[in-house]
Amino acid sequence: MQEITKGVYFIPGQDEFIPDSHVYLVGMPSSQDLSIVDAGLIGKGGYKIQSIRKLGIKLSDIKRIIMTHTHLDHIGCLKEIREQIPHAELWIHEEEAFSIEQGDERGVYGMEMFRSMCQSQYGLKAGDFKFNVDRKLKEKETLKIGGMTWEVLHIPGHSAGSIGLYARDQKVLIPGDVVYADYAIGRFDLYGADGSVLKKSLLRLAELEVEILLPGHNRVVKGVKAGYIRDTAKQWAPYLR
Ligand SMILES: [Zn+2]
Ligand SMILES: [Zn+2]
């Protein structure tokens, strides 16, 4: 666990043959109103909770879990984390929240082949990712939580209900799997994905002033150079149609 900037902590994912998403803990510790962003892969909840404890943060101060989207590598260990913090609310963009509440797991697995592979690998069954969603997030909502202000940006294309969380004051962007470090972007071949829509989302993110980029996987970037997201979108434009 690493403090990225005031009020933003980073718990790196531990990839296996399937990636495990990073977790970000956001909110000023003194606020006693912290949020976990994303959970991770099946079996990866325990060490993330431990990392939070090691930092001296009380689990009772964690008030909610916000999902950037509901792919298996992000929602897989949600149940494990919620067992440790049962009082925490679950916030998901409305576009994916309804599927999660109905137990429609097409968006969790992304493709049929992956579903059968993961179900046998991890002993999962239908309905394992059915949750009640406490708050269905909407485009352009402003979340005043933990002594910080986070804007909710609906940035579909990698998945239908992907969101970015943007702290304008700190110039911090948590884009989920939409854009990564090193000119990489999220895949756009899974259920609910769309390359041309992803391009629009990237161009939208390109409008933001971003100094700290905190993606769902791989490196985090401090000191993002101006135009980085725009350049990334440009490089991928021929494939995003
Ligand atoms: Zn994803
Ligand atoms: Zn991911």
Looking at residue 126, the DSSP 8-state letter turns out to be T
DSSP state of 98: H
Tell how far the Cα of 241 is from the centroid of ligand 1, in angstroms: 19
Share of the chain above pLDDT 70, in %: 100
Distance from residue 100's CA to the centre of ligand 1 (Å): 15
pLDDT in tens, 131-165: 999 999 999 999 999 999 999 999 999 999 999 99
C-alpha 170 to ligand 2 mean position (Å): 24
Q: What is the pLDDT of residue 173?
A: 98
Given pLDDT bands bounded at 50, 70 and 90, which one contains residue 24?
Answer: very high
State pLDDT tens for residues 224-238.
999 999 999 999 999
| Confidence bin at 120 (pLDDT 50/70/90) | very high
Is the model's pLDDT at 1 over the cut of 80?
Answer: no
What is the Cα–Cα distance from 43 to 1, expressed in whole angstroms?
A: 18
**E runs forming strands in the chain:** 2-5, 8-11, 23-26, 34-37, 62-66, 89-93, 135-137, 142-145, 148-154, 163-167, 172-174, 212-213, 221-222
Task: Return the pLDDT at 55.
Answer: 87
CA–centroid distance, 71 to ligand 1, in Å, is 5
Average pLDDT over residues 187-214: 98
pLDDT band at 57 (very low <50, low <70, confident <90, very high): very high
pLDDT digits (tens, 9 = 90+) for 175-189: 999 999 999 999 999
- 7 Cα–ligand 2 center, Å: 23
Q: What is the mean pLDDT of residues 190-216?
A: 98
